[in-house]
Amino acid sequence: MRLEDKTVVITGAGAGIGRETARLCADEGARVIVTDVDVEGGEETVDLIEDAGGEAEFAELDVTDSERVHTVVDEVAEEYGLDVMINNAGTGHPGGPLEELDDEVRDFVVDINVNGVWNGCSAALPHMKEQGHGSIVNVGSLASILGLPKQAAYSTTKAAVLNMTRTIAAEAGPHGVRANAVCPGFTETQMLDEYLEKRDDPEQAQKAMAEQYPLKRLGKPDEIANAILFLASDEASFVTGHGLVVDGGFSA
């Protein structure tokens, strides 16, 4: 198993990509610390893992609360050690031109997508550097490499995640710590559902979106989770500072 006897902390693991990643990591032998601001969703993820014979615990966590993030990560590292930190929690915003986007919405997206990832990395790095090994995987987006129209705040934050990841890789590499990002295309998650619900015809909007991809479909959470697992595992032992695009060929 690729993560046997390793401890993995995952943010935003109460649904979607985070949940599938948590389940996959547990299937691969990891002890998974499931975190989310959504208590019900996070506890459900833990139940799914335990029902399948895996090991998991839940910790309520708002990634924008730096003190709380550090407390949770410190406690995990002290009790179990910390091998992998997966910063998955993120959010989107309603589409619109940059100049029409409310400052409050912009700040909300920045706080979760940038500061939340920053907090997770900041909390994990001291432990990983001290022990001389560790893997950080941050969840970016297709918007990390492309400017998506009417998604200025989201695109800005996800580009920041990718460059933050590269910076960490350069800084922490000499300490044996790797940092990578996964950059998914549109994936069938709750966030996508919420985005499509604002369209006049959500079903038609999803079909039109899928037609833009060479594979003629959108991604599935488990497909992104498999990419995260690869970067988290020792199979990617010589991969760091990389943004792995998993987008069904859209960017091609």
Query: Pick the catalytic residue: 80, 154, 195, 213?
Result: 154
Number of neighbouring beta carbons within 10 Å of residue 12: 31
Residue 25 has what pLDDT?
Answer: 98
Q: Residue 39: left (phi > 0), alpha (psi -120 to 50), or beta? A: alpha
The residue among 38, 16, 57, 3 whose CA lies nearest residue 222 is 16
Distance CA 132, CA 231 (A): 17
Residue 196 has what pLDDT?
Answer: 64
CATH superfamily label, 7-184+220-241: NAD(P)-binding Rossmann-like Domain (3.40.50.720)
Residue 201 has what pLDDT?
Answer: 74
Annotated domain spans of the chain: 7-184+220-241, 187-218
Residue 202 has what pLDDT?
Answer: 72
| Active-site residue, 154 included | yes
Average pLDDT of each block of 10 consecutive residues along the chain (252 residues)?
97 97 98 98 98 98 98 98 98 93 97 98 98 98 94 97 98 98 89 69 80 91 97 98 96 92
Distance CA 235, CA 215 (A): 26
Beta strand residue intervals within the chain, DSSP E: 7-10, 31-36, 55-60, 84-87, 134-139, 177-184, 243-246
Residue 195 has what pLDDT?
Answer: 67
